[in-house]
């Protein structure tokens, strides 16, 4: 294999996670090891930054800031939900890559983003521009196919389960068999995040909170829900419910959905918690329902990030560079779990197109027959992913996060209108 010499470009796409910057740190640090990589650029705001040549010089960042990325939530390069649609957009991407001699392109994102990376890769091949395109998996939703789990997931469920543990301490002291506490979490099409709340239960304590988990995988039945709550309130002084935003009824319709859609045409969800609170207060006289909605907080919760997750995200970023330098292209890094009893994890590669078009549902057989709790198979799967804590430095009482200085790379082409 002949060595491909040129510049590396890394971009971030879609909704941020607590550890997407850890992947960025892994990619930058690994890239520095390879002399075939001349410059290390970051694309600001994903494909938008590529179209507009908004690149920064990542090699110019201080080591302190790059190290700080390992505990900094959000997408330090910026992301976008802009979807390349027109052929003109794709042509522009290749034109920009040629102008900046981009021979290595790494894109961290979910399936929509890996679909974009795949199309870019195929167009480059078609146009004879030799380059390597590697995807880095990223989503709190854990719904990427092929990978055992996805960087970002371990941290969000560690935060959600920690939150349940803390909420439970409060609710237990407050309830007199009359308090329903509802925590709404993200998860548009799969209940992976809501399911993760189950980790808050201690081993062999099935009655520990969360008492009820409402998953998109289980058709919601409001009468059964109210009965489930009543049963819990007979046994416990309070009932702690975790609900995924994507809850659907037996006809597959969201129980609560706003009329808005995002750039990819997905309906914007929210309000499932308030919906359940309304059911409780209407259905059970004298019982009060309190809601909390973690919203974006859950995917930015670096203070409760999983060290396992952060380390694996870093490893995925580094693995993407290694694969590209080794001549691989049009692949996405995935995580494989070892077979041994002791948890282990290594990276592998699959075709971008395979990632782009798959969705991994929460296995129905991991949900107990009651439809509102998870069985040992889920715990065995998820518990290793939340192990270890990330040390975040505090300054003057508050967490201190990295902030890139973002030295701009000169633009070489005429401006492009998006």
Q: For residues 248, 253, 258 and 261, what is the CA-based torsion angle, rounded to 10 degrees?
A: 110
Q: Are 188 and 246 in contact (CB under 8 A)?
A: yes
CA within 13 Å, CB half, 413:
19
Q: Which letter, b or e, does each residue of 78-90 get, where b requires 16 or more Cβ atoms within 10 Å of its Cβ?
A: bbbbbebeeeebb
Site track 189-208 with its own copies (rule: CB under 8 A), x = hit: ----------xx--------
Q: Are 274 and 289 in contact (CB under 8 A)?
A: no
Catalytic residue selected from 141, 143, 309, 311: 141
Q: How far is the CB of 127 from its own copies (least distance, A)?
A: 29
Among 34, 83, 98, 165, binds its own copies (CB under 8 A): 165
Contact between 387 and its own copies by CB under 8 A: the answer reads yes
Pick from 389, 395, 399, 321: which is nearest to 73 by CA? 399
Site track 71-100 with its own copies (rule: CB under 8 A), x = hit: -xxxxxxxxx--------------------
Site track 301-340 with its own copies (rule: CB under 8 A), x = hit: xxxx-x----------------------------------
The residue among 131 and 289 lying less far from its own copies, judged by its C-beta, is 289
Q: Are 333 and 175 in contact (CB under 8 A)?
A: no
Quick check: is 141 catalytic? Answer: yes
Q: Are 295 and 156 in contact (CB under 8 A)?
A: no
The residue among 196 and 371 lying less far from its own copies, judged by its C-beta, is 196
Pick from 316, 297, 312, 338: which is nearest to 390 by CA? 312
Q: How far is CA 387 from CA 2, 242, 343, in A?
A: 41, 21, 10
The residue among 21 and 353 lying less far from its own copies, judged by its C-beta, is 21
Among 129, 345, 383, 406, binds its own copies (CB under 8 A): 383
Site for its own copies in 241-300 (CB under 8 A): 260, 268, 270, 281, 288, 290-297, 299-300
Q: Catalog residues that contact its own copies under the rule CB under 8 A.
A: 12, 15-16, 45, 48, 72-80, 158, 161-163, 165-174, 176, 181, 183, 199-200, 237, 260, 268, 270, 281, 288, 290-297, 299-304, 306, 383, 386-389, 394, 396-399, 401
- The residues annotated as belonging to the active site are 141
């Amino acid at each position: 294999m002949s060595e491909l010499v040129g510049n590396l470009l890394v971009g971030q796409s879609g909704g941020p996670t607590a550890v997407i910057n850890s992947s960025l740190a892994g990619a930058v640090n690994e890239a520095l090891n390879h002399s075939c990589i001349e410059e290390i650029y970051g694309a600001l705001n994903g494909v938008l930054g590529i179209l507009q040549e908004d690149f920064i010089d990542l090699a110019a960042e201080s080591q302190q800031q790059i190290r700080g990325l390992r505990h900094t939530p959000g997408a330090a390069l910026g992301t976008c939900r802009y979807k390349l649609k027109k052929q003109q957009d794709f042509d522009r991407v290749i034109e920009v890559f040629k102008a900046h001699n981009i021979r290595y392109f790494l894109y961290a994102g979910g399936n929509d983003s890996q679909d974009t990376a795949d199309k870019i890769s195929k167009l480059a091949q078609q146009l004879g521009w030799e380059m390597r395109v590697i995807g880095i998996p990223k989503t709190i939703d854990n719904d990427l196919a092929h990978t055992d789990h996805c960087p970002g997931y371990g941290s969000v469920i560690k935060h959600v389960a920690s939150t349940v543990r803390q909420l439970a301490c409060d609710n237990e002291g407050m309830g007199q068999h009359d308090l329903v506490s509802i925590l709404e979490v993200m998860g548009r099409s799969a209940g992976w995040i809501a399911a993760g709340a189950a980790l808050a239960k201690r081993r062999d304590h099935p009655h520990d909170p969360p008492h009820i988990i409402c998953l998109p995988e289980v058709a919601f039945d409001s009468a059964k829900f109210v009965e489930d709550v009543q049963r819990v309130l007979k046994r416990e002084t309070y009932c702690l419910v975790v609900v995924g935003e994507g809850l659907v009824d037996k006809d597959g319709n969201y129980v609560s959905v706003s009329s808005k859609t995002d750039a990819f045409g997905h309906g914007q969800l929210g309000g499932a918690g308030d919906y359940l609170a309304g059911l409780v207060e209407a259905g059970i006289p004298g019982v009060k329902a309190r809601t909390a909605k973690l919203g974006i907080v859950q995917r930015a919760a670096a203070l409760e990030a999983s060290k396992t997750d952060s380390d694996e995200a870093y490893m995925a970023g580094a693995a993407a560079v290694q694969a590209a330098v080794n001549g691989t292209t049009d692949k996405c890094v995935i995580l494989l779990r070892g077979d041994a009893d002791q948890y282990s994890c290594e990276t592998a590669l699959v075709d971008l197109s395979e990632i782009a078009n798959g969705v991994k549902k929460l296995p129905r057989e991991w949900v107990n027959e009651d439809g509102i709790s998870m069985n040992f198979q889920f715990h065995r799967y998820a518990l290793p992913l939340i192990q270890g804590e990330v040390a975040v430095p505090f300054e003057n009482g508050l967490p201190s996060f990295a902030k890139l200085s973002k030295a701009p790379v000169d633009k070489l082409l005429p401006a492009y209108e998006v």
